[in-house]
Amino acid sequence: MILHCIQARFGYLLVGLIFIAVIGLCEGGLTSSYVRSNGLSSDMPLDSDVFRVPPGYNAPQQVHITQGDHEGRGVIVSWITPNESGSNSVLYWAANNQIKKTAIGIVVKYKYYNYTSGYIHHCTIENLEYDTKYFYEIGNGDVTRQFWFVTPPRPGPDVPYTFGLIGDLGQTYDSNRTLTHYELNPMKGQTILFVGDLSYADSYPFHDNTRWDTWGRFVERNAAYQPWIWSAGNHEIDFVPEIGETKPFKPYTHRFFVPYKSSKSTSPLWYSIKRASAYIIVVSSYSAFGMYTPQYKWFTNELSKVNRTETPWLIVIMHCPMYSSYVHHYMEGETMRVMYEPWLVKYKVDVVFAGHVHAYERSERISNIAYDVVNGLCTPINDDSAPVYITIGDGGNQEGLVKEMTEPQPRYSAYREASFGHGIFDIKNRTHAYFGWHRNQDGFAVEGDSLWFHNRYWKSMGETSTAVL
Ligand SMILES: [Fe+2]
C-alpha cells in the first residue's frame, strides 16, 4: 500500500516536471523540428555550367535589371563586357509594338587589389508603359543578346503583385537550389526583394572579385528578366585597409546601380521605390543611421511621405534583423532597432524583411518601444501597429545554416527553422496579402510557414473586408 502510494506520487511528480519543462520550452511560437542533415555548403566550381561565359568575343554577361525610377516606369539594365567597352546602348521595344527605341548608358570600371573589373554598363530606360512586356537587346554584331521584362502596373491600392524574397544567396549548390526553387514556384514572383549579402566573394583571399563575376553570371538567368531590388549586407562592405581597399562597398556600388536619386536619397545604399500597390524602403544596416545622419534624416522623412491610399503596402528591407532569436548575430540589429522601431510603429509598416542570420524566422506583431533603459519595460509587447519581422537570410551561402537558437523561444518569435529557402509576398488587394516561406527540400508549391497579412493602414481605418481575389 505504502509502495503504491509512493509510486503514485512519483508519477504525479514526473507528470508535473514534464509539464513544467514543456511550458518552459514553449514560451514563444513554434520551433520547427525539421533538421537539415548536411553541414557547410561549398561554392560551385568555376567551371560550373551556371557560371558559363556567353560565347563570342566581348559578349555581354552578368545581365541584370532593377527598377530605374520611383514609380515603376523605368528600368536600369546592367551588364559587363570583358574585353572592351563595346556598345553602350540598349535597344528595346514593346511586345505589342515593333517600334524600336534606343537608350544610352554609361560605363564604369574599378580596380580592387590586383583585380581589374570588366566594362560595367548601366543604362536607364525611362517612360515605359505600365504593365507591358518589353524586349531588349544589348551588345553588337554576332554577340547581340536579347532578353525581356514586364513593367509593373501603375501604382494603385488594389493592384495585385507578387514579390519574391531572397537573402544571403552566395554561389553554392544550395544557392542554385534556392534560385531554382524560386523560379519553379507556382506563385510566380514578379520581382525579387533581395535582403543583402550577394556573392560572398569576400570569403576568398583578397576578396577575389572574379567571384563577383561568377555570381553575376549565376543570377543572370533570373535577374535579366525580372528586377531584383537590391540592399547591401555586410558581405558587400569589402573594406580591407591592409591591402589598400579603404572605400566601403566599392564592388557592390559599381556593379549594382539603383534609382536612389529619384527618392531624394543621397546614397545608393538607402532609397525607396513604388511598385504596384507597394512602397518599398531600403535601408542600410552598415551605413551611419543614428540621429542627424543623412540616412536617419532621409528615412524618417520618407516614412512620412508614403500615401497609403495609393500604395497601402509599406515594406522595409534591410540586412541585419531587428528581431532574431538565433544565437548567431544575436542583438546585432539592436542599435538600429532602438533608433528606427518607433518610426516603423508610428507609420504602421506592414512588414520588415531582413537577412544576415542564415535561417528563417517570423515574428508576432510586437514592439519594444516603451523601454527607455531605466523603466524596466524591456520585454516586447503585442502591438497592432507594429510590423511583422521576417528573417529570410536562408539563401544558401557557403557559411551554411545557423542552427543554434536562444532558449526558450521568446514570445515574440512565431516560427523559426534553420533551413534554406525563399519567401513569397503575394499582395491581393489593399487589405490582404499572403506570405509563404518555401524550404528547398519541399515540392515547389509547399509552404513551410505562411501568414495572411491584414494591411496595417487599412485595418486602422476600419476597412477589414475587401474580398480577397
Ligand atoms: Fe550578413
- Concatenated DSSP letters of 302-326: HHHH--TTT--EEEEE-SS-SS--B
Ligand 1 centroid–CA 139 distance in Å is 34
Residue type, 458: W
Q: Which of 71, 53, 74, 72 is nearest to 63 (CA)?
A: 53
To the query of whether residue 181 is one of the catalytic residues in this protein, the response is no
The pTM (predicted TM-score) of the whole model is: 0.92
Identity of residue 39: G
Q: How far is CA 220 from CA 51, 107, 121, in A?
A: 10, 19, 14
Question: What's the burial of 76, exposed, middle or buried (CB within 10 Å: 0-12/13-18/19+)?
Answer: buried
Encode the chain (469 residues) as per-residue pLDDT tens digits. 344 434 544 444 444 444 444 433 446 789 987 766 555 589 999 999 999 999 999 999 999 999 999 999 999 999 999 999 999 999 999 999 989 999 999 999 999 999 999 999 999 999 999 999 999 999 988 899 999 999 999 999 999 999 999 999 999 999 999 999 999 999 999 999 999 999 999 999 999 999 999 999 999 999 999 999 999 999 999 999 999 999 999 999 999 999 999 999 999 999 999 999 999 999 999 999 999 999 999 999 999 999 999 999 999 999 999 999 999 999 999 999 999 999 999 999 999 999 999 999 999 999 999 998 899 999 999 999 999 999 999 999 999 999 999 999 999 999 999 999 999 999 999 999 999 999 999 999 999 999 999 999 999 999 876 665 4
Residue with cell 511621405: 305
* Nearest to 27, CA basis, from 384, 387, 380: 380
Rounded to the nearest angstrom, the distance between the alpha carbon of 234 and the centre of ligand 1 is 5
* Alpha carbons 230 and 257: distance in angstroms, whole number: 9
C-alpha cell at 445: 508549391
Q: If you measure from the C-alpha of residue 198 to the centroid of ligand 1, how many angstroms do you get, rounded to a whole number?
A: 9
- CA-to-CA distance for 393 and 231, rounded, in angstroms? 13
What spacing in Å lies between the alpha carbon of 152 and ligand 1's midpoint? 30
Active-site residue (options: 70, 329, 358, 438): 329
Neighbours of ion ligand 1 (CB under 5 A): 197, 233-234, 356
CA of 210 relative to ligand 1 center, distance in Å: 20
Of 462, 455, 418, nearest to 433 (Cα)?
A: 455
Gap between the Cα atoms of 336 and 290, Å rounded:
8
